[in-house]
Amino acid sequence: MAAPTTTADQVLDPHPTKEDNYFTAEKGVLSWIFTLDHKRIGVMYLCSVMTMFALGGLFALLVRIEHWTAGPTLDFVTPDMYNQFFTLHGAIMVFLVIIPGIPAALGNFVLPLHLGAKDVAFPKLNLMSYHMWLLGAAFLVLSMVLGAADTGWTFYTPYSTTTTTAVIPALFGAFILGFSSIFTGLNFMTTIHKMRAPGQSWFRLPLFLWAIYATALIQVLATPVLGITLLMLIVERGLHIGIFDPALGGDPVLMQHFFWFYSHPAVYIMVVPAFGVVSEIIPVFSRKRMFGYKFIALSSVAIAGLGFLVWGHHMFTSGQSVVASTIFSSITFLIAIPTAIKTFNWVGTMYKGRIHLDTPMLYALAFLWVFTIGGVTGIFLAVMNVDIHLHDTYFVVAHFHYVMMGGAITAFFGGLHYWWPKMFGRMYNEKQGRIGSIGVFLGLNLTFFPQFIMGTRGMPRRYYNYLDEFQDLHRLSTIGALLMGVSFLFTAYYLIASLRKKHDAPMNPWGATTLEWTTTSPPPYYNFHKTPPVTQGPYDGYEKLWYDEKVGGYIEKKKD
Amino acid sequence: MMTLLNMQPSPQPDRPALKLAERTEYWMPPQASTVAEELDWLFFLIYWVSLFSFFAVVGAMIYLIWKYKATSRAANEQPEPSTDHNTTLEITWSVIPLIAVIGIFVIGFKGFVNMRTPPKDAYEIHAIGQKWSWAFKYSNGQVSDEFHVPVDTNVRVLISSKDVLHAFWVPAFRVKQDAVPGRYTDVWFNANTAGEYVLECAEYCGTSHSDMLAKVVVHEPGGFDKWMDEKIKLEEAMPPAELGELEYGRQGCKVCHSIDGTRLTGPSFKGLFGKQETLVGGGTVTVDENYIRESINEPQAKVVAGYPPSMPTYKGQLSDKRIMGIVEYIKTLK
Ligand SMILES: [Cu+2]
Ligand SMILES: [Cu+2]
């Protein structure tokens, strides 16, 4: 395998052929498995993450269908299996889909391109991250075979240290995935520091990179705590050393502190990259510079920082002291502000623009709708006394699905459709793309909005059985989930169908001015034939581009 | 797939017919405690602020799409010139939400401090959670599997757990508190509307988490004492085996020990008395009065082979009379 050397100013073959792209550069399965090319690693992450998304989605559908009636619905699903299903759904979606989704799959592909670089700073470490991800995923899948954990993705003690299910392999899987996440974060931070194109100052970075940078910061600082926590759980379970289990002299609430010290920042590992994707899409499809660039850029960093200081808002009912709860609640409110600033700036960007409603933009708009709901419902939960009532109900379930599914996944699909032509060199069927995105949007709202109502009325989460009065709302939710499932299948269908076509994607289908659109679709092995100099901001210069129908994309405007 | 679906709700024999109480509002359950009103007031304040914010953002978004939608890419329309930053605007839309959330935080803080500070004169009841039932213990030693409280009285609930985390939640009272093994947590309320409500376990605790419900009864003035007196009289006059049956139901025995021979977490009570059992670690024991008493007080001392050592101790929680009752009850299960 010819490993590329990646000095920053290496000039490549000045006469590339049309077929000279990263797919054709090397051949064979091994050239994929051991590739050091960030684009190939990104594509492999993408395939793996999508597979896990399908699996996690399947468990979600099983959970939802089980709720069609109170008590048993599906003949083969016992209460214990139901508990395993929602645990697997949560663990898969969090650890294997959303956390790696945007940073590792899209980020790996886009980040060096955004910098005009040939690869990330440490290509071998990047490959190792992916291999560790696979290993972690393998342990999680193994735990399913051995007797899937039934603890919920939160692994609260002492339940998690006393259940008979295969908790240790699942914990070990999450532990390894944590390392993968830390390595990716380190790699991306270094790359952004060291490998920016000439002229690309920090405030000329695309907002996607600001978001990825803020995310990387959290990944590097918070994930080790998850590692320690999982290790302590493994030690307690395996060696019966009392840390969290009161029967052994431990403290179960301590486990919650450790867990949320990671898992609240992890919420921002999941959603800050989504902010980045939306920030890329909205100016391009509004044909206008981003409104309030610096506010959006710095608010990502503010969110990342504040995100470390709020973990105790998950524990208002745990017996935590009033003083602690008060501090956690007040800082939680502060996070609302940078989040609101972002939203207003995105909407402000559309003012006096020329708005094109293609699939990526539809996903970005869906994000604004859904994320606003996710955001404002967070206020209910940050208020201490209201949270006492709503804690551990379907209101919480609905809230974090509006943020995770509605925020992170919607933005992920927006980004996927936005960069798809660049990644694979093909345009998907635009009409089908729009239908798919509308289906996802409707299904999402139908699934999760009724859950807010149920939650306030008294429906606790993780309930196999429920009181009869909740049946109608549960059914609405289940119908929504099925609609979402169908829409995602449809999306998979037209995306895969597009791959069978000949290369037809232009260099710049959407008329963007970030660097990835100045190279061919798909890019050559070394990304750029010449390191591109940066002379303007990431959302400047739309007026210099011209849509050409013959090309099917944008080209530099000819001088009059 | 559809053939696997039971389209009709299946009968659930062990489940009491519980309802949350008649619905009067679309959001939130009916109010039945003094904090409910205050909490709901704040809930609805945030609700309206949220609706306003949502319609402001989404309304602006839809208006802008309608106003500035491009006709086609081929038309190559250029946007009207406009600025890309406006510091005054940024500060305005940062400060207004900041003031709003500070206000909301302060109101929530006051409500929370009130909820977390039980009045000194409160009547105390213990709530003990275990997989998967609740037992409520009153100051006179009486135990019930239903949660009875007098109306218009400050009640403090001392919550504990025998095994894993649970959470005590009465939606109509708007109070919730985790039950943490190895420590006491507490919660207080003043139920101001007589009636029947439901208590739910809100912290995930395994297989039958969703059946860990209990009936809540708020008695009219005088009704609580009457209920208590009747309960005491009834239990005093009860033949031992009947008392045992009652304890079997409300101490949580039924969760792990069947009476029809079904194998659950622990050995079935059917035909148990007089039986020879093999023990974990070898040896045998004949199930007699002494063995049952020992197993209630020190469940881990002699565990029957093939069953997990998961029973919590009841030492000091059951009077001799009640233990005898359970023994007599098991004797009747031939
Ligand atoms: Cu949090
Ligand atoms: Cu429970």
How confident is the model at residue A10, as a pLDDT?
36
Residues 243-282 of A with CB under 8 A from B: 246-247, 251-253
* pTM for this prediction: 0.89
Which residues of A are less than 8 Å from B101 in CB distance? Answer: 333, 336-337, 379
> What gap in Å lies between CA B36 and CA B169, rounded to an integer?
13
Residue B186, beta-bridge partner list: B158
Please tell me the distance between residue B267's alpha carbon and the centre of ligand 2 in angstroms.
23
Helix axes A293-306, A207-239, angle to 10 degrees: 10
How confident is the model at residue A75, as a pLDDT?
83
Q: Which amino acid is at A287?
A: R
Residue of chain B whose Cα is closest to the Cα of A321? B116
> What gap in Å lies between CA B170 and CA B209, rounded to an integer?
15
Which residues of B are less than 8 Å from A295 in CB distance? Answer: 85, 90
**How far is residue A110 CA from its own chain's centroid?**
14
Indicate the helix (H) or strand (E) that contains A85: helix A79-91
How confident is the model at residue A4, as a pLDDT?
41
B26–A347 CB contact, under 8 Å? no
How confident is the model at residue B5, as a pLDDT?
42
Q: A336 by DSSP, 3-state: which?
A: helix
CB neighbours (10 Å) of residue B72?
10
- Residue B334: exposed, middle, or buried by beta-carbon count in 10 A (0-12, 13-18, 19+)? exposed
Side-chain-side CA neighbours of B15 within 13 Å: the count stands at 20
**A126 token code pair:** 């990047």
- Give residue for tokens 């109502």: A453
Confidence grade of residue A287 (pLDDT, cut at 50, 70, 90) = very high
Residue of chain B whose Cα is closest to the Cα of A319? B185
Min Cα–Cα distance to chain B from A278, Å = 14
Among positive and negative, which fits the CA dihedral B301, B307, B313, B315?
negative
On whether any CB of chain A is under 8 Å from the CB of B229, the answer is no
Most confident range (mean pLDDT) of A7-21, A420-434, B295-309 is A420-434
| A130 Rama class: left (phi>0) / alpha (psi -120 to 50) / beta | alpha
**A363 token code pair:** 């996903």
Please tell me the distance between residue A310's alpha carbon and the centre of ligand 1 in angstroms.
6
Residue B84 dihedral angles phi and psi, to the nearest 5°: -110, 10
How confident is the model at residue A560, as a pLDDT?
52
Interface test with A, best of B24, B64, B186, B213 (most A CBs within 10 A): B64
Rg (CA), chain A: 23
Whether the per-residue pLDDT at A431 is higher than 80: the answer is: yes
Task: Name B14's Cβ contacts closer than 8 Å, sequence gap at least 6.
Answer: B211
How confident is the model at residue B1, as a pLDDT?
34
How confident is the model at residue B16, as a pLDDT?
54
ipTM for this model? 0.89
Q: Which amino acid is at B334?
A: K
**A478 token code pair:** 């289940």
CA B136, B140, B145: angle at the middle one, nearest 5?
A: 20
Q: A220 by DSSP, 3-state: which?
A: helix
The number of residues in chain B equals: 334
Pairing verdict, β B147-150 and B213-219: parallel
> What gap in Å lies between CA A62 and CA B79, rounded to an integer?
48
How confident is the model at residue B6, as a pLDDT?
42
SS in 3 state form for chain B? Answer: CHHHECCCCCCCCCCCCCCCCCCCCCCCCCCCEHHHHHHHHHHHHHHHHHHHHHHHHHHHHHHHHHHHECCCCCCCCCCCCCCCCCHHHHHHHHHHHHHHHHHHHHHHHHHHHHHHCCCCCCEEEEEEEECCEEEEECCCCCEECCEEEECCCEEEEEEEECCCCEEEEEHHHCEEEEECECCCEEEEEEECCCEEEEEEECCCCCCCHHHCEEEEEEECCCHHHHHHHHHHHHHHHCCHHHHHHHHHHHCCHHHHCCCCCCCCCCCCCCCCCCCEEEECCCCEEECCHHHHHHHHHCCCCCCECCCCCCCCCCCCCCCHHHHHHHHHHHHHCC
Residue B134's alpha-carbon distances to B143, B159, B169, B194, B209, in angstroms, are 10, 10, 11, 21, 11
> What gap in Å lies between CA B303 and CA A547, rounded to an integer?
79
On whether any CB of chain A is under 8 Å from the CB of B102, the answer is yes
Q: A135 by DSSP, 3-state: which?
A: helix
B80–A68 CB contact, under 8 Å? no
> What gap in Å lies between CA B276 and CA B288, rounded to an integer?
10
Question: What is the signed CA dihedral for A408, A412, A418, A422, rounded to 10 degrees?
Answer: 140
A384–B108 CB contact, under 8 Å? yes
Please choose, from the candidates A370, A356, A360, the residue with its C-alpha nearest in 3D space to the C-alpha of residue A491.
Answer: A360
Q: Which of A71, A316, A355 sits opposite B70 (nearest CB)?
A: A355
pLDDT in tens, chain B (334 residues): 333 444 444 445 455 556 666 666 788 998 999 999 889 999 999 999 999 999 999 999 999 999 999 988 888 888 888 888 888 988 998 899 999 999 999 999 999 998 888 999 899 999 999 888 899 999 888 888 899 999 999 999 999 998 899 999 999 999 999 999 988 999 999 999 999 999 999 999 988 899 999 999 999 999 999 999 998 888 888 888 888 888 888 787 888 888 888 888 888 888 888 888 888 888 888 888 888 888 888 888 888 888 888 788 888 778 888 888 888 888 888 8
Q: Is the peptide bond before B132 cis (omega within 30 degrees of 0)?
A: yes
> What gap in Å lies between CA A487 and CA A386, rounded to an integer?
35
Min Cα–Cα distance to chain A from B236, Å = 35
Please choose, from the candidates A459, A345, A349, A443, the residue with its C-alpha nearest in 3D space to the C-alpha of residue A396.
Answer: A459
How confident is the model at residue A16, as a pLDDT?
45
Confidence grade of residue A1 (pLDDT, cut at 50, 70, 90) = very low
Residue B217 dihedral angles phi and psi, to the nearest 5°: -120, 120
Helix axes A252-286, A394-403, angle to 10 degrees: 40
Among positive and negative, which fits the CA dihedral A173, A177, A179, A180?
positive
How confident is the model at residue A116, as a pLDDT?
92
The number of residues in chain A equals: 560
Task: Decide if A93 contacts A10 (C-beta within 8 A).
Answer: no
Q: Which amino acid is at A551?
A: V
- Residue B43: exposed, middle, or buried by beta-carbon count in 10 A (0-12, 13-18, 19+)? buried
**A210 token code pair:** 């600001």
Which residues of A are less than 8 Å from B81 in CB distance? Answer: 352
Whether the per-residue pLDDT at A62 is higher than 90: the answer is: yes
Confidence grade of residue A18 (pLDDT, cut at 50, 70, 90) = very low
Confidence grade of residue A413 (pLDDT, cut at 50, 70, 90) = very high
Whether the per-residue pLDDT at A355 is higher than 80: the answer is: yes
How confident is the model at residue B19, as a pLDDT?
66
Residue B227's alpha-carbon distances to A556, B10, B145, B231, in angstroms, are 86, 34, 14, 6
**How far is residue B62 CA from its own chain's centroid?**
43
Whether the per-residue pLDDT at A485 is higher than 90: the answer is: yes
Q: A465 by DSSP, 3-state: which?
A: coil
Pairing verdict, β B154-161 and B123-130: parallel
B210–A326 CB contact, under 8 Å? no
Interface test with A, best of B209, B212, B255, B313 (most A CBs within 10 A): B209
Average pLDDT over residues A405-430: 94
How confident is the model at residue A320, as a pLDDT?
84
Q: Which of A295, A460, A462 sits opposite B169 (nearest CB)?
A: A460
Ligand nearest to the backbone CA of B200: 2
Ligand nearest to the backbone CA of B169: 2
Residues 399-438 of A with CB under 8 A from B: none
> What gap in Å lies between CA A59 and CA A98, rounded to an integer?
16
> What gap in Å lies between CA B52 and CA B55, rounded to an integer?
5
> Which position has the higher pLDDT, A560 or A43?
A43
Q: pLDDT tens, A237-262?
A: 888 888 888 888 888 888 888 888 88
CB neighbours (10 Å) of residue B301?
12
Please tell me the distance between residue B265's alpha carbon and the centre of ligand 2 in angstroms.
17
B58–A388 CB contact, under 8 Å? no
In chain A, the percentage of residues whose pLDDT exceeds 70 is 96
Q: Which of A80-84, A405-409, A455-459, B19-23 has the lowest mean pLDDT?
A: B19-23
Q: pLDDT tens, A75-126?
A: 888 898 999 999 999 999 999 999 999 999 999 999 999 999 999 999 999 9
Residue B62's alpha-carbon distances to A68, A348, A357, B80, B246, in angstroms, are 35, 12, 12, 19, 63
| B175 Rama class: left (phi>0) / alpha (psi -120 to 50) / beta | beta
Please tell me the distance between residue A311's alpha carbon and the centre of ligand 1 in angstroms.
5
Please tell me the distance between residue A82's alpha carbon and the centre of ligand 2 in angstroms.
14
Task: Name A470's Cβ contacts closer than 8 Å, sequence gap at least 6.
Answer: A70, A454, A457, A459
Q: Which of A76, A289, A351 sits opposite B4 (nearest CB)?
A: A76
Task: Decide if B12 contacts A70 (C-beta within 8 A).
Answer: yes
CB neighbours (10 Å) of residue B55?
12
On whether any CB of chain A is under 8 Å from the CB of B70, the answer is yes
Q: pLDDT tens, A173-202?
A: 888 999 999 999 999 999 999 999 999 999
Which residues of B are less than 8 Å from A80 in CB distance? Answer: 207
Residue B189, beta-bridge partner list: B155
Average pLDDT over residues A535-539: 91
